[in-house]
Amino acid sequence: MQKAMDVAATSILPAFQAMPYATPCRRGRPGLSVFLFNKFISGQKKGNSKLLPVPVVPGWPVIGNLLQLKEKKPHKTFLRWAEIYGPIYSIQTGASTVIVLNSTEVAKEAMVTRYSSISTRKLSKALKILTDNKCMVATSDYDDFHKMVKRYILTGLLGAGAQRRHRGHRDTLVENVSSQLLDRIKTHPQQAVDFREIFESELFGLSMKEALGKDMESLHVDELQATLSRQEVFNVLVLDPMDGAIDVDWRDFFPYLRWIPNKGLEMKIEQMHFRRQSVMNALIQEQKKRIASGEEINCYIDFLLSEGKTTLTEKQIGMLVWETIIEASDTTMVTTEWAMYELAKNPKCQDRLYHEIQNVCGAEKIKEEHLPQLPYLNAVFHETIRKYSPAPVIPLRYAHEDTQIGGILYSSWK
Ligand code: HEM
């Protein structure tokens, strides 16, 4: 039984407790909108005839539905259940009851209309450590800290103005990726091209420049007493934390068994956190020296060091900058990789896209200004996101006040 439970936990945990959307990306799962909550009161319990009862997916005693979710793609199971039970139903994952919202309408109601009522996160121990206790835009509860850092990330990085200022970095990425691909084709015309190898590295470079102003070849990290190569820095900042996020601590499904030690996992996560923090400290110290020498760059760290100097600690700044590196480095890569895969498999679609681009751009290289004239390219992107969403399942959200979604009343979990 223990073995079977571990298998179930291994595959379901990424979806339920993983880093906000980042973890499922690495596996490139096909997509659907699924949102999860726990603790609810159905209309029946409240005795309110206007509110609906919640269908329950039958499961096993103690483990509930964990075994039924043992596939690598739990959102496909959710979809199957939605066809039987409707867009809102309840499942049992170990000791917790979870409500699954599985249609565009209820997902929209949850994430737009009721967003402020359902935005409390309860993280696994591993994620508490990896997110430095929710110190990220994407994992913080909907509170003053969240509102402040959301404003910062929009002004300093993701908003239209910031994206305009970072245009040059994106152009460089496009230029570098296309010249490397052309180069490969010229030098090894018969060999398969490893798209990921080229794109992953360029994307990491882009996120480093947007976040810290500079890419790097290597980095000396005092706290680790070592000089890390660029690949090692990528591992510490991106790959290791993602692996840590999907590592399973089965006690998360059975909080009453928390007293049983799981030291190996805890130490592994603590070490990841320490290495990540050490690298971020070294990167930030470098940028501080640069700023002190009078060289300012239009990037997120410069923005945070100036805007957040009275509102954020240095540790928080480190976490917020790291957040943008990990969030940008995987989602975009996985989506682009799937788009290339589908186009390679569907020559008709590839031809249609090629001709659209040729008609609009002619002999010119494709630029961001061309994008509004390229509806088929836009459709390819959306179809890729639909079929292979890097984030098909949103990690658990909790109602922190009574609220209602799809005719069902949810009570605060506190
Ligand atoms: C194809 C690319 C991407 C996809 C599919 C994607 C998907 C998502 C999803 C589904 C969420 C909601 C998570 C939740 O509510 O639990 C989210 C949140 C977020 N994403 Fe992305 N993302 C992508 C790219 C990026 C990039 C490049 C960044 C750059 C930093 C980023 C930064 C964020 C942030 C900061 C949040 C939290 C927003 C908030 O809570 O208000 N994402 N993303």
Q: Is the CB of 325 under 6 A from ligand 1?
A: no
Q: Is the CB of 207 under 6 A from ligand 1?
A: no
Q: What is the pLDDT of residue 324?
A: 96
Q: What is the pLDDT of residue 31?
A: 30
Residue with CA at minimum distance from ligand 1 atom 37:
138
- How far is the centre of ligand 1, averaged over its atoms, from the C-alpha of 390 (Å)? 10
Q: Are 394 and 138 in contact (CB under 8 A)?
A: no
CB atoms within 10 A of CB 285: 13
pLDDT tier at 38, thresholds 50, 70, 90: very low
pTM: 0.86
Q: Which of 37-46, 49-58, 116-125, 400-409 has the lowest mean pLDDT?
A: 37-46
DSSP-derived secondary structure letter, 406: T
pLDDT higher than 90, residue 229: yes
Q: What is the pLDDT of residue 243?
A: 87
Q: Is the CB of 21 under 6 A from ligand 1?
A: yes
Q: Is the CB of 136 under 6 A from ligand 1?
A: no
**What is the C-alpha to C-alpha distance for residues 323 and 25, in angstroms, rounded to an integer?**
15
Pocket test for ligand 1, best of 37, 115, 116, 327 (most atoms within 8 A of CB): 327
Angle ∠(72,92,413) on CA atoms, nearest 5: 115
Query: Which has more confidence, 245 or 334?
Result: 334
The residue-averaged pLDDT of 119-136 equals 89
- How far is the centre of ligand 1, averaged over its atoms, from the C-alpha of 31 (Å)? 15
**Residue 21 Ramachandran class (φ > 0 left, ψ -120 to 50 alpha, else beta):** left
Q: Which of 127-136, 166-175, 295-304, 388-397 has the lowest mean pLDDT?
A: 388-397
Q: Is the CB of 391 under 6 A from ligand 1?
A: yes
The residue-averaged pLDDT of 190-212 equals 95
Tallying the residues shown for the chain, one arrives at: 414
Q: What is the pLDDT of residues 363-389, one digit of tens each?
A: 898 999 999 999 999 999 999 998 988
Q: At what angle do helices 167-187 and 195-212 cross, to 10 degrees?
A: 160
pLDDT higher than 50, residue 44: no
Q: Which of 27-41, 95-109, 291-305 has the lowest mean pLDDT?
A: 27-41
Atom of ligand 1 nearest to the CA of 394: 16
DSSP-derived secondary structure letter, 223: G
Q: Is the CB of 406 under 6 A from ligand 1?
A: no
Give the domains, in start order, of the chain with CATH numbers: 2-121+391-410 (no CATH), 152-335 (1.10.630.10)
The residue-averaged pLDDT of 344-369 equals 96
Q: Is the CB of 119 under 6 A from ligand 1?
A: no
b (16+ CB within 10 A) / e for 50-83: ebbebeebebeeebbbbebbbeebbbebbbebbe
Q: What is the pLDDT of residue 78?
A: 92
Q: Are 61 and 27 in contact (CB under 8 A)?
A: no
- How far is the centre of ligand 1, averaged over its atoms, from the C-alpha of 106 (Å)? 19
Atom of ligand 1 nearest to the CA of 323: 30
pLDDT higher than 90, residue 2: no
Q: Is the CB of 331 under 6 A from ligand 1?
A: yes
Q: What is the pLDDT of residue 22?
A: 34
The residue-averaged pLDDT of 134-139 equals 94
3-state SS, residue 351: helix
Report, in this order, helix, strand and coil percent for the chain, each rounded to 5. 60, 10, 30
- How far is the centre of ligand 1, averaged over its atoms, from the C-alpha of 143 (Å)? 18
Q: Is the CB of 131 under 6 A from ligand 1?
A: no
Q: Which residue has the tokens 């922190």?
A: 400
CA-only gyration radius of the chain, Å: 23
Atom of ligand 1 nearest to the CA of 157: 30
- How far is the centre of ligand 1, averaged over its atoms, from the C-alpha of 327 (Å)? 7
E runs forming strands in 307-379:
none
Token pair of 17, please? Answer: 């407790």
pLDDT higher than 80, residue 332: yes
The residue-averaged pLDDT of 275-301 equals 96
Q: What percent of the chain has pLDDT over 90?
A: 63
Q: Are 339 and 380 in contact (CB under 8 A)?
A: yes
Q: Is the CB of 156 under 6 A from ligand 1?
A: no
Q: What is the pLDDT of residue 52?
A: 64
Q: Which residues contact 26 (CB under 8 A, 6 or more apart)?
A: 242, 246, 330, 334
pLDDT higher than 70, residue 1: no
Amino acid at 412: S
